[in-house]
Structure 1
Amino acid sequence: MIESGFVKKHDLDPAVHNAVRVVVNAARQLETDPRSAAHRVGDAITALEALDATERALSARLLPENYELLLDVRAARADVIAYELSRQRAMLPTLTAALGRLRAISTIDDLVESIAIESAALGYERSMFSWVRNERWVPRSTHTTSGPEEGRSILEAGAPPYHHTRDLVEVDVVRKRRPILITDADTNPRVHPTISPVSRSNTYVAAPVAARGHVAAFVHVDRNAVTGTTDEFDRDLLASFCESIGVMIDRFVATGNPSEQTPDDSPVADWPDALTDREREVLRLLATGLTNAQIGARLFISEETTKTHVKKLLRKLGVSNRSQAGAMYHRLHGSADSGGSALPRETPA
């Protein structure tokens, strides 16, 4: 990334590139090492960190000649934040489309085969879907832009004996149910010892797929095709993707469509764990045929708040209308608490 001008323009987004220029200029003014300052920036997140550090240093020595630089720093931060927000907004249609294609799948086996494809479609060069069995990493499917041969090689590298996650950085994904960003995969001794030499990843992110209140699986993606790396944005995007995947898996279990490919002791099941207490209350009343206004009156909340809860629970259940949500509820609980009311015709959430 560093050369005579400190940064190659084609390596970074213009907003991030400008942030490096500002940080370097400030380092010169503060008589610190500009090369070291430039090295700290590789993406929008590190650019914001470097700009914050630079602003603190300038503010500590607020001389008249530093005032223009301070304004440049603040302007550069605004540009980087705008870039990051536009990047996030631009991904929403892609994420929605990928999840829509997955929701249309009719068997869990097809879903598992498609998860790696659709996660890569979010803009990554490689992806992998893996089950978790007794906290062991069980690779299941991969997709790479290099073709199926590389994917097969990665799966073979993760073949039995399966590695326990307690010895790997993925332990936080399984035990703490949180996504991770790994920026030193080529040197970290806790990355997968047989997959890493084959994938040759420098950075990657992984996120949990939670079902029945446990981590049943996780998804890895490697190298954003736009930025050439992975960062906090990729981590959060994958986490959102995987949250919906968990609901889809629970949906198949709830409808009696288990997968022969699911490890026997993989903790996949009850979809109500995906809902908040309030969403479960709303679903119970929705399943009796009540309208949003009636549900709101029962729960002492507004009709608009009820509508928001309904939209969220439909999304979490992976269904498109109230009738389908009510049917899932009755399949789980039977008709005892339905009050004998028929479900309403399909109505907007």
Structure 2
Amino acid sequence: MSAIRERLKQLLREIVSLEPSVELRCPSRPDDADLEHSLRQAWLMVARSLRANLQAGAQDPERNLELLDLMFRVDQARTEIRDLHLARNSELACLVDAAIERLRAITNSQDLLVAAGAEIAGLGFRRVLVSLIKNSCWVPESGYVSEDPEMALAMVRVGRRRPLSVQQLVESTMIQDRSPILVENVRSEPRVHAQLVGVTRTRSYVAAPLEVNGRIIAMLHADMPVAGGAVSKFDCMLLGHFARHFAHLLERATWVENLAKLQQTTAELQDRMDRASWDLGSTLPFRSETPVAQETRQTTGTGLQDCDRLAGLSAREMEVLGLMSSGCSNAAIADRLFLSEGTVKAHVKHVLQKTNSANRVEASSLYLARQRAG
């Protein structure tokens, strides 16, 4: 990389001598997108000098050949830089895919937000901040600073101490456009988070939104490229690429968490209904069998009499008995039905009482007999 940059600096110095009033910037990183602009300007400067020589009828073929050689070298440099961009894009795309694949194993949204910092740093940044947007305010959630965990904690602490409305900040443009941004010349930008800038002393940074279920719920910030210098448009594109894939993982984790809450609520509601049904049944007066019912019971087989002992069980109690008859412990039943172990014990007690069974084995035999009877 350094060899390429030195070659480019030498080439640009030669070309600037043609028009000293024009400044051609050589970025600190050869893969910087601004470098393509500088090389394009350099090519145009050489072309203007060559055209001026030809139009003036200057009889200096050696000078013209020198200018043609410069144009050829600029074209070569542009090709080399484009190849470098393609190679780096391909490499970083693989790094992003690998990072997302590692994060895919995490299904908890909080753990995902914490783990994201280290993965983003692995893409070429020394400092990362992951933040939530709560009530339109920027609230840092976790930070990552290579070899400086104290700085990471300080970033989160100062951001939480005084959450700012996103509408006041340059990030509002990012949220409105739903696309990553590059913030340059931070010291002269009035709409940055002044407290965070005071701690980090950053000069430029990139940020990307995290869109989940159609809403921007979080942001990613990164600066201090490992390659050195300021962040670039390429870094902005890279963070945006990661953010789009990461948002899908965050959305999936949110759905899993919401589903688990719904299942827990449903299980608790069913449990309350079962308890209410049992309490109501225990207060009703005993109703003796009619003569017809007695005759029917006496003329049917013992298996059917046993099956009738299950008639008073609720749907939940039948579920518990079914799992009990398959050999599940109370803990295993609780895990399968999303109940507490105490609730399962209460259901087992009700099953034994309602079926007039002495133990779990007798109750299970009634269930299995019913299954065989169809």
Same fold (TM over 0.5): yes
Residues 173, 207 of structure 1: 8 Å contact kept: yes
Matched positions, count: 246
Distance 1:248 1:259, change over 3 A: farther
- Name the residue aligned to 1:20: 9
- Name the residue aligned to 2:74: 73
- Name the residue aligned to 1:290: none
Residues 19, 47 of structure 1: 8 Å contact kept: no
Per the TM alignment, residue 246 of structure 1 is displaced from its structure 2 partner at its CA by 1.2
Question: Who wins on radius of gyration, i.e. which is larger?
Answer: 2
Residues 8, 26 of structure 2: 8 Å contact kept: no
The structure where helix makes up a greater share of residues is 2
C-alpha distance in 2, partners of 1:209/1:19?
A: 38
Residues 211, 249 of structure 1: 8 Å contact kept: yes
- Name the residue aligned to 2:233: 232
C-alpha distance in 2, partners of 1:124/1:256?
A: 31
C-alpha distance in 2, partners of 1:175/1:94?
A: 28
Gaps of 5+ in 2: 54-63, 262-374
Per the TM alignment, residue 188 of structure 1 is displaced from its structure 2 partner at its CA by 2.1
Q: Tell me, what secondary structure is at the counterpart of 2:162?
A: coil
Q: Tell me, what secondary structure is at the counterpart of 2:138?
A: strand
| 1:86-125 paired onto structure 2 within 5 Å | 86-125=87-126
**How does the TM-score come out when normalised to structure 2?**
0.62
Residues 19, 77 of structure 1: 8 Å contact kept: no
4+ long deviations beyond 6 Å:
none
Q: Tell me, what secondary structure is at the counterpart of 1:21?
A: helix
1:82-137: CA deviations, max 9, x gaps?
11222222223321221111110131121111111211122210101111123321
- Name the residue aligned to 1:176: 177
Per the TM alignment, residue 40 of structure 1 is displaced from its structure 2 partner at its CA by 4.8
- Name the residue aligned to 1:252: 253
Question: Is 1:130 aligned with 2:131?
Answer: yes
**How does the TM-score come out when normalised to structure 1?**
0.66
| 1:1-349 paired onto structure 2 within 5 Å | 13-28=2-17, 30-33=18-21, 36-37=23-24, 39-43=25-29, 44-62=32-50, 63=53, 64=64, 65-257=66-258
RMSD between aligned residues = 2.2
C-alpha distance in 2, partners of 1:148/1:130?
A: 17
Q: Tell me, what secondary structure is at the counterpart of 1:159?
A: helix
C-alpha distance in 2, partners of 1:53/1:147?
A: 41
Distance 1:110 1:68, change over 3 A: same
C-alpha distance in 2, partners of 1:83/1:40?
A: 16
1:179-232: CA deviations, max 9, x gaps?
011221233222211000101112211011111112111101111112443112
Letter in 2 for 1:66: L
Distance 1:129 1:183, change over 3 A: same
- Name the residue aligned to 2:56: none
1:135-185: CA deviations, max 9, x gaps?
321110001013221111111111143111222221112111110112212
Q: Tell me, what secondary structure is at the counterpart of 2:131?
A: strand
C-alpha distance in 1, partners of 2:126/2:162?
A: 27
Distance 1:259 1:93, change over 3 A: farther
Identical columns (%): 26
C-alpha distance in 2, partners of 1:157/1:178?
A: 26
More moved, 55-64 vs 18-27: 55-64
Gaps of 5+ in 1: 1-11, 261-349
Residues 108, 254 of structure 2: 8 Å contact kept: no
Distance 1:170 1:205, change over 3 A: same
C-alpha distance in 2, partners of 1:132/1:190?
A: 17
Letter in 2 for 1:108: S
Residues 186, 204 of structure 2: 8 Å contact kept: yes
Distance 1:223 1:231, change over 3 A: same
C-alpha distance in 2, partners of 1:216/1:123?
A: 24
Distance 1:150 1:114, change over 3 A: same
